[in-house]
Amino acid sequence: MRFDLVSIFPKFFDGPFEYGVVARAAKTGLVQVRTHDLREFTHDRHRTVDDRPFGGGEGMVLKPEPLFDCLAGMGLSEKKDRAAARETVVLLSAQGKPFTQAMAVELAGLERVVFVCGRYEGVDERINELLCDREISIGDYVLSGGELAAAVILDAVVRLLPGVLGNPDSAKFESFGVEDAGPGYVAGEVPPSTHGAGGLLDYPHYTRPAEFRGIGVPEVLLEGDHVKIRRWRRERALEKTWRNRPELLKSATLTKEDRRCLSDLERTKMEE
Ligand code: SAM
């Protein structure tokens, strides 16, 4: 899979992609990451990429010409043919659709993703109209540039690509996992997978030592009864989701037992 990043600060990406999963995927050839310096597509002495906004107001806007020339030279398909070519051009924007794990899965099914990183007040809207296929936001806050947002999305996508993670199940059965509790799962039974998923947040994890600063690892994890461990993990995943992201429970796959666990949590809360 190939990624292209268009930015006025291409060196910004030297750091984030030099470590961990993305660096490994690039080294083994599973992904190619190319950066494009927008200033190379300017034609004036000062390499100007921005200008004042029409209509007045705060700040500056990224000019359309350098962005257009940069994207035009990338050998991308016409906008109307991009889906068939499994390519997409993403404009990073606080005004975009919120990025989700489901979107990461969709992007991981493509061959090429181009990220247009805005700066200042943003990008001249005609670039969005003419060249971009989607506008994505990584959250309800304003960053000073699209580079961090692009790096976040690229990281989330790369770890989903076949062969990138040592254990492919790691990317299936985790928080926001789009997959259910695994093959063989029967509603009403304890999920056969050791993992939660099914739209829940992940359960809490522990490693050695068994006791740290007076806090012991939950007994059940030390006893070796895997049915009990699965049940405990499922309950803790439900509890985390209920506490931190209750809205996710509406679309999660819940068994009768899960619902009982949630009622118990509600009851305990009322009694507190
Ligand atoms: N004037 C814009 C607004 O109010 O929506 C904010 C512009 S912001 C200072 C500069 C650039 O950062 C944007 O063009 C975009 O590329 C990027 N950016 C800021 N917040 C973002 C977010 N939540 N998600 C993705 N990109 C973001």
Residue 204 lies in a domain: yes
Residue type, 138: I
Q: Tokens in use for 151?
A: 């790096």
Q: Residue 176 has what pLDDT?
A: 79
If asked whether residues 112 and 31 sit together in one domain, one would say yes
Q: Residue 166 has what pLDDT?
A: 84
Burial class (CB in 10 A: 0-12, 13-18, 19+), 269: exposed
If asked whether residues 151 and 41 sit together in one domain, one would say yes
Q: Residue 193 has what pLDDT?
A: 40
What CATH code is carried by the domain that includes residue 47? 3.40.1280.10
If asked whether residues 127 and 202 sit together in one domain, one would say no
Give the C-alpha separation, 132 to 92, whole Å. Answer: 10
Residue 170 lies in a domain: no
**Domain, as residue range, for 14:** 2-158
If asked whether residues 64 and 146 sit together in one domain, one would say yes
Please tell me the residue having the least CA distance from ligand 1 atom 2. 121
What CATH code is carried by the domain that includes residue 245? 1.10.1270.20
Q: Residue 60 has what pLDDT?
A: 98
What domain count does the chain have?
2
Residue 166 lies in a domain: no
Residue with tokens 């268009």, as numbered in its chain: 6
If asked whether residues 103 and 31 sit together in one domain, one would say yes
Q: Residue 172 has what pLDDT?
A: 67
Extract the runs of DSSP E, i.e. beta strands, from 129-210.
134-137
Ligand 1 atom with least separation from CA of 59:
1
| 121 Cβ inside 6 Å of ligand 1 | yes
If asked whether residues 183 and 147 sit together in one domain, one would say no
Q: Residue 179 has what pLDDT?
A: 53
Beta-carbon neighbour count of residue 22 at 10 Å?
23
If asked whether residues 131 and 263 sit together in one domain, one would say no
Instruction: Please indicate if the annotation marks 262 as binding a ligand.
Output: no
- Residues in the chain, total: 272
Which H/E stretch holds residue 231? helix 226-244
If asked whether residues 9 and 51 sit together in one domain, one would say yes
Ligand 1 atom with least separation from CA of 139:
23
Give the C-alpha separation, 159 to 168, whole Å. Answer: 9
If asked whether residues 85 and 207 sit together in one domain, one would say no
DSSP 3-state assignment of 197?
Answer: coil
Distance (angstroms) between ligand 1 centre and the Cα of 150 equals 11
If asked whether residues 17 and 116 sit together in one domain, one would say yes
Low-confidence ranges of the chain (pLDDT < 70): 169, 172, 178-197
Q: Residue 170 has what pLDDT?
A: 72
| 153 Cβ inside 6 Å of ligand 1 | no
Residue 97 lies in a domain: yes
Residue 86 lies in a domain: yes
Q: Residue 190 has what pLDDT?
A: 47
Cα three-residue angle 132-84-164, rounded to 5 degrees: 85
Q: Residue 64 has what pLDDT?
A: 98
Closest by CA position to 191, among listed 242, 230, 239: 230
Give the C-alpha separation, 88 to 119, whole Å. Answer: 20
The residue from 109, 128, 158 where one domain ends is 158
If asked whether residues 189 and 119 sit together in one domain, one would say no
Distance (angstroms) between ligand 1 centre and the Cα of 94 equals 4
Residue 163 lies in a domain: no
If asked whether residues 58 and 150 sit together in one domain, one would say yes
Q: What pTM was estimated for this model as a whole?
A: 0.93
Give the C-alpha separation, 38 to 116, whole Å. Answer: 10
Q: Residue 16 has what pLDDT?
A: 93
